[in-house]
Amino acid sequence: MKALTNRAKAVDRRPMNFWEKIYLVAIFKGLMITIKHFFMKKQTINYPEEKRPFSPVFRGLHILNRDEEGRENCTACGLCALACPAEAITMEAAERLPGEEHLYREEKYAAKYEINMLRCIFCGFCEEACPKDAVYLSQTVPPPSFDRKNFVYGKQDLLIPHPKNK
């Protein structure tokens, strides 16, 4: 019968000799591999004390950006929420009131902006979709927690500090 693929290998059916029957050679080969790994450089790191550098294209926590005067860049256009394949971003828009020109750049702003980090897949589509460069993904890892509500970040958690109030 002809084989369907070229991956078939012939099986060696000859009888084992004395050294193969007592498996000493196989045990010695296994011990040599173990001894070789014993003297190799360790791959693990002591995490809290040592931190491994991230790749330059690593995407971490989301950040809402401000301009040089401290006004929010987000205009609540909703493109980031539409671009998110995991539907992790929710927002509500509001109109800027008279006297709030120092807080928001445009007439419309995000009154509520939340990101559920448990749903986020860190794809970066929200960053690419934003026309005002208001959202970007930083190099920061989300902190661990046992509580689910700690992974829903609101607008105040995501905004960078005001440049004039530092």
Annotated binding site for [4Fe-4S] cluster: 74, 77, 80, 84, 120, 123, 126, 130
Q: Where is the binding site, in residues?
A: 74, 77, 80, 84, 120, 123, 126, 130
User: How far apart, in whole angstroms, are the C-alpha atoms of residue 135 and residue 118?
Assistant: 18
Tokens of 72: 């929010």
Instruction: Give every strand in the sheet of 152-153, ordered side by side.
Output: 89-95, 108-116, 152-153
Contacts (Cβ under 8 Å, ≥6 apart) of 71: 102, 103, 104, 105
Q: How far is CA 148 from CA 44, 60, 115, 144, 162, in A?
A: 29, 18, 13, 10, 28
